[in-house]
Amino acid sequence: MKASENQQAELLGLANLDLEISRTRTYLTNLTSGNAFSDLRSAQRDCAAQLIESRNALDQVELDLARAEADLKLVEQRIEKDAAALNATSSSKDAQGIQSELETLKKRKSELEDLELAILERKDEVEATYKTVLTDKQAIDEELAAKESANEAEIMKLRSGLDLSTAQRSQQASRIDAELIALYEKKSSRGLAVGRLLGRECGACRMTIGATALAEINAMPRDEIATCPDCQAILIR
Ligand SMILES: [Zn+2]
């Protein structure tokens, strides 16, 4: 097939543009696949589950503390009441009974105070864990939001670039003979359709062309389409 050197150069430009468009499409597919940041998303889910767990633990310890404080208050009120009754009674038998109850109550009070202290210590630990998980979760949320927004911006940029390239492509293709385009499309479906001849190397398959084949290619008129003996790509000389 014949094609002017100008037409051949246009075809090489079109092939390069098609390569760029195809690379951009692949990149865009990766960015929009939803697989991006899957590690970070999974870390976010884990962290959210941990946050619920530690919030529940904190709620429980606060409940335990309130219960222990209420129990302690009841015992203290009882002690106060018994002490007043002890002061008021004149019966030694009653006084003995009250005193024995007071001893039991004081023992119970001491136990409840120990319990309250233990709960307070546990509350400190649970609270510290909750705060750590909360901070971690916020950091992951922020990182993910920043990355997603950067990703979104990149996608927008690529899409508008792709629109431009596609418009440029159809303009460029309109300048090339239909027959040459048809040959190009046919070869494109099998791989790289056009390559520049770089010394003895085919720019499409990167194979070195044998001396005999190269001599034949070089002997061809400039407006004759040469093809690579290895990959059948159109060779632009
Ligand atoms: Zn080749």
State yes or no: pLDDT of 17 exceeds 80.
yes
**pLDDT tens, position by position, 183-220:** 999 999 988 999 999 999 999 999 999 999 999 999 99
Distance 208 CA to ligand 1 centre (A): 8
Question: Average pLDDT in the 131-146 region?
Answer: 97
| pLDDT at site 218 | 94
Confidence of residue 35 (pLDDT cuts 50, 70, 90): confident
- Domains observed in the chain: 5-29+176-236 (no CATH), 31-174 (1.10.287)
Break the chain down into helix, strand, coil percent, rounded to 5: 75, 5, 15
Give the Å distance between the CA of 232 and the centre of ligand 1: 6
Measured in Å, residue 203 CA sits from the centre of ligand 1 at 7
In angstroms, what is the span from residue 188 Cα to ligand 1's centroid? Answer: 13
- Give backbone dihedrals phi and psi of 232, rounded to 5 degrees, phi first: 65, 10
* DSSP structure class, residue 207: P
What is the CA(12)–ligand 1 centre distance, in A?
14
